[in-house]
Amino acid sequence: MKFVYADNAATTKMSEASKQALIQTIDNYGNPSSLHNMGVKAFYAIDEARNKIAKALGSAGNELYFTSGGSESDNWAIKGFAENMKKKGKNHIISSAFEHHGILHTLSALEKQGFEVTYLPVYQDGYVRIDDLKAAITDKTGLVTIMYANNEIGTIQPISEIGSVCREKGIVFHTDAVQAVGHVEIDVKKQNIDLLSLSAHKFHGPKGIGALYIRKGILLSNLLEGGAQERGKRAGTENTASVVAAAVALEEALTDLDEKNKRVAAMRDRLIDGLLKIERSRLNGSRSPRLAGNVSVCFEGVEGEALLLSLDLVGISASSGSACTSGSLDPSHVLLALGLPHEIAHGSLRLSLSEYNSEEDVDYILSVIPGIIERLRDMSPVWEDIKENESKETKDTKKDN
């Protein structure tokens, strides 16, 4: 059976170069805090990786701190800066309605502590509006946190504009760039980003390693107290191998990025066009600007999990926004934030491509999806109702004529 991995927004396959770097670095097992030669070697390996990643973001090595992934970076950025805000008498944070749970749940925790949070709407097209941002700012606002690109629908937010507004107003700007790093060009200095979260497993690096960019001069309290690692800001014996592998993966991801993105976007567009030919389907969020690999569609009368498991049975790994694992009966908060009704949001499918996908993958996906949807709709009482209403309407229209 053909196998197509189209769940790259969930996680990616490690690149061969990154994997080899990991394996090799494992043998250089010294603790980077140890003073002997093995430790010093590890120390330098981390230093080099840090500088590489920092450079790729337009920042300096001493502004980059390694973490265990995107969630930790998000938690640290927000909780850490919130402590700072308290001291300055600020208590208002601006975010968006469709952030990742790493942000949203952290913000809820802060709300319980008395912080106030404004969640900007993202409208049907999936973008925050600069005017909404400006209108939300008060003299109590200390932090704006808006994701770079949405993980479910791939829409890329107006980060540079948000950065300008925040810098002008003296508000610190964090962006959860977990879906963006390695996929779009980022320059934290030019874009006036103060804090940025990234996670290596989203760009063909290892899982369990991420980083937080902290612009020089921004003070965060520590989330993980302890040893003097990461210049005293993040305790824990450094994961040298993963750090090195992350840097290799990022370097590789950014090589010929435009070219790769063009190729991936062409596949994405062919997928979108093909899927939208299916009756009662719709694209979630605007077509552009959108991550080169993101396809997010809803099919009426079909439930997302059943759809993705059907795809899995024919070798296609995909995802649905229907939050099946979360224990909630609600569909994804992202799709609801776009204003989709529950019953439509339940029918969502996310296909996320990477440069490892091929045109044949697209052909294959397009060849099997219509049949799967037909099968599921055939047994769906919801679809039956839709069809009945349709024919009633046709009759009504006929009557009206």
Ligand X SMILES: Cc1ncc(COP(=O)(O)O)c(C=O)c1O
Residues that bind other proteins (CB under 8 A): 33, 35, 40, 43-44, 301-306, 309, 313, 322, 324-327, 329, 331, 341-343, 346, 378-385
Question: Looking at 12, 18, 25, 71, which residue binds ligand X (CB under 6 A)?
Answer: 71
102 binds ligand X (CB under 6 A): yes
**Measured between alpha carbons, how far is 355 from 8 in angstroms, rounded to an integer?**
10
Q: Which of other proteins, ligand X, a second copy, none does residue 374 bind (CB under 5 to 8 Å by kind)?
A: none
Distance of closest approach, residue 7 Cβ to a second copy, in angstroms:
6
User: What 8-state DSSP symbol labels residue 377?
Assistant: H
* Residues forming beta bridges with residue 144, ordered by sequence position: 94, 173
Report in angstroms the alpha-carbon separations of 181 from 187, 205, 206, 309.
10, 11, 14, 29
What is the nearest approach in angstroms of other proteins to the Cβ of residue 344?
A: 9
Number of H helices, E strands in the chain: 14, 12
Smallest separation, CB 58 to ligand X (Å): 20
Among the listed residues 97, 137, 324, 366, the single catalytic one is 324
Per CB under 6 A, which of residues 143..172 are in contact with ligand X? 147, 151
298 in catalytic set: no
For other proteins, give the closer residue by CB, 111 or 312: 312
Q: How many CB atoms lie within 10 A of CB 243?
A: 28
* Distance linking the first and last C-alpha atoms of the chain: 52
Ramachandran category for residue 8: left, alpha or beta (phi over 0 → left; psi -120 to 50 → alpha): alpha
Of 22-30, 56-64, 175-183, 289-297, the window that binds ligand X (rule: CB under 6 A) is 175-183
Q: How far is the CB of 119 from ligand X (least distance, A)?
A: 15
Cα–Cα distance measured from residue 387 to residue 259, given in angstroms and rounded to the nearest whole number: 44
Residue 152's φ and ψ, nearest 5 degrees, are -95, -45
With CB under 6 A as the contact rule, the residue among 7, 63, 176, 194 that binds ligand X is 176
Contact between residue 175 and residue 146 where contact means Cβ atoms under 8 Å apart: yes
Site residues for ligand X, 201-240, by CB under 6 A, read: 210, 236-237
- Could you tell me if 320 and 177 are in contact, meaning their C-beta atoms sit under 8 angstroms apart? no
Instruction: Give the burial string for 43-79 (b: 16+ CB within 10 Å, else e).
Output: bebbeebbbbbbebbebbeebbbbbbbbbbbbbbbbb
Smallest gap from residue 375 Cβ to ligand X (A): 31
Which x/- pattern over 179-198 shows residues binding ligand X (rule: CB under 6 A)?
A: x-------------------
Cβ closest to ligand X, residue 176 vs residue 355: 176
- Residue 301, binding choice from ligand X, a second copy, other proteins, none, Cβ under 5 to 8 Å by partner class: other proteins
Least Å distance, CB 207 to a second copy, is 4
Per-residue CA distances from 281 to 5, 303, 368 (Å)? 22, 13, 16
Write out the residues near ligand X by the rule CB under 6 A. Answer: 69-71, 74, 100, 102, 147, 151, 176, 178-179, 199, 210, 236-237
Which are the catalytic amino acids? 324
